[in-house]
Structure 1
Amino acid sequence: MKILLSAFAFAPNVGSEPGVGWRWAAELGKQHEVTVITDATRRPLVEAEGVQLPPNVHVVFFRPTWLRAMPLNSATAPLLYTLWQFGLLESARRLQREQRFDLAIHCTYGVFRHPSFLGYLGIPFVFGPVGGGEDAPLALKRSIHGRQKIKELLRSLLNKVALFDPFLWAAYARATLILTKTDDTRQALPWPFRRRAIVYPEIGIDAPAGIQPTARQPGEPLRVLFAGRLLGWKGAHLAIRAVAQAVAQGVPVEFTLLGKGPFEPELRKVAAEAGVQDSLRWVSQMPQQELFALYRTMHCFLFPSLHDSSGNVVLEAQANGLPVICLDIGGPATLVTAETAIVVATRNRNEAGVVQGLGNAIRKLADDEQCRMAMSKAAIEHVREKMSWDERANGVLPLVDKALGRDWRGTVKDL
């Protein structure tokens, strides 16, 4: 089968959206012929010395002439990406006439607010997985201040305004299959499309072999890890307060906070006010292989993010045998099970109530080593059996079969 994969973000050997685009192409390419259309700025990364394209994967670098002067950075990315999508359709139609694709998939950026027009190619079209509709109640953002708070308010506003975008309605109306990373994003879609959208996490992991749960020895403190960018919505301030609560209740805890970002000064104030400086170890960053080794020295992973669409670190932690403590909002809750994680409820709770729930979860894992070890084993098995990259990318095709019927493959309309 010939697949056209739209991946504005696409690059090897990296995480986040570019890595997702690359891995979807690589996994689909194991069984199908894949053409990736990506932004022209990705060329240096894709064609760098030593980089080899995955088998059966071809790349087309695209940038409309009228957009070539616009640089790609964090400030310009949303506008540039939206304009790029508007310019893409004609080029995609030209490719379709030449290549006769059987299926089009929009992969990255995976944000529900931005339309993709590949549904106008006359072939089955998968829109997603998309995220970005995840959010937390204002009651859980009381401790986020300044620019971080303004960004949160603007993001929430943009999600609401997107519901009135006629281009977005047109894009979803043309989709054969709509995939969302979380149920939060499914509920954030324009209302006619919510019922037929399917929740489907977009990330996978290459689970390391031979991982065994790390037993906690008698008298040893519970080693707790947080890893992520230090932004207000990542919830590290809630994690610090939860550790402080557990320590105040007599639970022996060593807390490692790994990450860097603009919220770090505020987090250090929170740690000082909570009196947990002696229980907290700060690490700014480390290579992934060192991070994987660090996972294996820990006893649990604490990640109370307020609106992650996914959460690579949650998969990494489970793959390395760590039970997870997270909230019931956003992507992390879709990547765990009741056997691998303690998911703390947020409904009708303020920050203090959520912190109490997180603290109780820490205490439970500290008090019941048999339960913690069982969760650790279940985490390793869950990731290995259900969350591989092959499972993520190729699991989409049966969903298209179900939506259209199995006789669709190889039938292409003339444009």
Structure 2
Amino acid sequence: MINVLINAYAVSPNWGSEPGLGWNWVTNLAKYCNVYVITEGEWKQEIEAAVEKLPQKDNLHFYYNPLPDRIRKMCWNQGDWRFYKYYRQWQEKTLTIAKEIIANNQIDVIHQLNMIGFREPGSLWKINGIPFIWGPVGGYGWTTLKYLSGQPISVKTKAILKNILNIIQGKFYSLSNNAMKRADCVMAANSNVYNYIKRNFREDVVLLNETGCYVKNIPLSENENNQVFNILWVGKFDYRKQLELAIRTVSQLEGAYPFIKLNIVGDKDNFTYSRLSELCSTLNIEQNVVWHGKIPNKEVHQLMQESDVFLFTSIDEGTPHVILESIQNNLPIVCFDTCGQGDVVNDSVGIKIPLSNSSQSPSDFARAILSLINNRKRLNQMRLNCSLRQRELSWDVKMKKVVGIYNSILQNTKE
């Protein structure tokens, strides 16, 4: 059995996003490898309680490098750049812990897992003599600015500055570039990142999305004769997620199909909600929109099982886990053909439209949804196809690929 040392800052059995990613990777990998994990200590109690219930618990060994609460708060506030100073310090201490683990255990592979952004390769690449894997890596590239129309000046400025910073750091950030050169394998989180790395750094990059599916046998609901056609939207109310596109899409559908319902899940406590609520009034579709607010994940899954289509309008993502959740709940998807959703969604479970601009996209989305309203046989077939797609995207399939990469690298090292 391969002994793997994993650097994963964020690991939690009870959260989604980066912490959930970390948990799913290390626990599923432990079915096939002996896994040593260095993580921050915020969820230590939850981790240890959850590990005890796992059949593979003997293959999981956690080491904690805790930070004060004030620094954790900086991490949760994604716009707080002060966090990165402390994160670098955390990585240097993690390097010391890693060396101690290596001194006392036979480690075959070192894997830098998360955070997955390219600016955050950790420090374990500095250790020589053991194969180093980095990834899945995200964040390379830039966000299209063709969807800035109608956004506040602060949002426009932030998007432009972020693109400039990404372009500069993507090419010249020495920490990332050194890790990129040192790595025996680099995994890209989506096709955009894959193409960027292949074009600028190395030909042998591997495409591997950072998230996966759990196979669920959820009974299929028969929605063909329902009078109401339910569209579900889930996400933060920010520029990247483009909720306004979803609202404008429904305004174009309402005239042709008056029983459309757009169910919106997300925190309403911000300026964006006020602005978009007014937009619904202006477009005269208040009766077609239901604002659910921020609700538990269990309730989101229930909404998915009761809906007809998942409308995902985001233009800037890694691989959004909510897309995998939609497939797990047999809910067909309409989304942009970009980022991780462009890799995960295929013609069997959804419809993808090209990135264009804020004027054209609502028409494109409306046309796609209308095609499913008018062809319920195709829509129901997509529901059936979700079961197969779950298996193709499952954590088990993904971890077998990762173990295959480990074995290939170790074999090349021996040779």
- Which residue number in structure 2 is paired with residue 57 of structure 1? 60
SS at match of 2:396: helix
Structure 1 position 251, deviation (Å): 5.7
Asked if structure 1 preserves the Cα contact closer than 8 Å seen for 2:38 and 2:63, the reply is yes
Comparing both chains, which one has the higher relative contact order based on Cα–Cα distances under 8 Å and sequence gaps of 6 or more?
1
Asked if structure 1 preserves the Cα contact closer than 8 Å seen for 2:218 and 2:330, the reply is no
Asked if structure 2 preserves the Cα contact closer than 8 Å seen for 1:224 and 1:253, the reply is yes
- Which residue number in structure 2 is paired with residue 178 of structure 1? 186
Mapping of residues 247-326 of structure 1, within 5 Å: 247-250=254-257, 252-260=259-267, 262=270, 263-326=272-335
SS at match of 1:59: strand
Q: How far apart in 2 are the matches of 1:331 and 1:253?
A: 28
- Which residue number in structure 2 is paired with residue 327 of structure 1? 336
Alpha-carbon displacement from aligned partner over 1:220-258 (angstroms, at most 9, x marks no partner)? 232110011222211211111111111133463111111
Q: How far apart in 1 are the matches of 2:402 and 2:201?
A: 18
Q: TM-score, normalised by structure 1?
A: 0.89
Mapping of residues 222-233 of structure 1, within 5 Å: 222-233=229-240
Alpha-carbon displacement from aligned partner over 1:195-218 (angstroms, at most 9, x marks no partner)? 322221111122322432533206
Alpha-carbon displacement from aligned partner over 1:138-168 (angstroms, at most 9, x marks no partner)? 1122233244334323322331121211121
Asked if residue 159 in structure 1 is aligned to residue 166 in structure 2, the reply is yes
Q: Which amino acid aligns with 1:52?
A: E
Structure 1 position 309, deviation (Å): 0.6
Mapping of residues 113-262 of structure 1, within 5 Å: 113-121=119-127, 122-133=129-140, 135-162=142-169, 163-189=171-197, 191-217=199-225, 220-250=227-257, 252-260=259-267, 262=270
Q: How far apart in 2 are the matches of 1:153 and 1:87?
A: 34
Alpha-carbon displacement from aligned partner over 1:108-147 (angstroms, at most 9, x marks no partner)? 1111122233233321221011212364321122233244
- Percent identity of the aligned residues? 24
Aligned residues: 401
Q: How far apart in 2 are the matches of 1:278 and 1:270?
A: 13
SS at match of 1:35: strand
Asked if residue 99 in structure 1 is aligned to residue 102 in structure 2, the reply is no
Q: How far apart in 2 are the matches of 1:267 and 1:377?
A: 34
Q: How far apart in 1 are the matches of 2:184 and 2:279?
A: 48
Q: How far apart in 2 are the matches of 1:33 and 1:332?
A: 31
Q: How far apart in 1 are the matches of 2:412 and 2:146?
A: 50
Alpha-carbon displacement from aligned partner over 1:296-332 (angstroms, at most 9, x marks no partner)? 1111100010111111111111111111000012121
CA 1:290–1:69 in 2, change beyond 3 Å: closer, same or farther?
closer
- Which residue number in structure 2 is paired with residue 71 of structure 1? 71
Gaps of 5+ in 1: none
- Which residue number in structure 2 is paired with residue 22 of structure 1? 23
Alpha-carbon displacement from aligned partner over 1:12-69 (angstroms, at most 9, x marks no partner)? 221111111111111111122111001234435435x676374111111125xxx769
Q: Which amino acid aligns with 1:168?
A: S
Structure 1 position 96, deviation (Å): 1.4
Match of 1:112 among 90, 107, 118: 118
SS at match of 2:146: helix
Q: How far apart in 1 are the matches of 2:42 and 2:20?
A: 15
Gaps of 5+ in 2: none
Asked if residue 345 in structure 1 is aligned to residue 375 in structure 2, the reply is no
Asked if structure 1 preserves the Cα contact closer than 8 Å seen for 2:198 and 2:204, the reply is no
Structure 1 position 190, deviation (Å): 8.6
Q: How far apart in 2 are the matches of 1:112 and 1:128?
A: 9
SS at match of 1:140: coil
Match of 1:393 among 395, 399, 411: 399
Q: How far apart in 1 are the matches of 2:83 and 2:360?
A: 37
Q: How far apart in 1 are the matches of 2:304 and 2:118?
A: 32
Deviates more, 1:71-80 or 1:164-173: 71-80
Q: Which amino acid aligns with 1:396?
A: V
- Which residue number in structure 1 is paired with residue 94 of structure 2? 88
Q: TM-score, normalised by structure 2?
A: 0.89
Structure 1 position 181, deviation (Å): 1.1
SS at match of 2:38: strand
Q: How far apart in 1 are the matches of 2:331 and 2:304?
A: 7
Instruction: Provide the alpha-carbon RMSD of the alignment.
Output: 2.4
- Which residue number in structure 2 is paired with residue 38 of structure 1? 39
Deviates more, 1:236-245 or 1:69-78: 69-78
SS at match of 2:99: helix
- Which residue number in structure 2 is paired with residue 406 of structure 1? 411
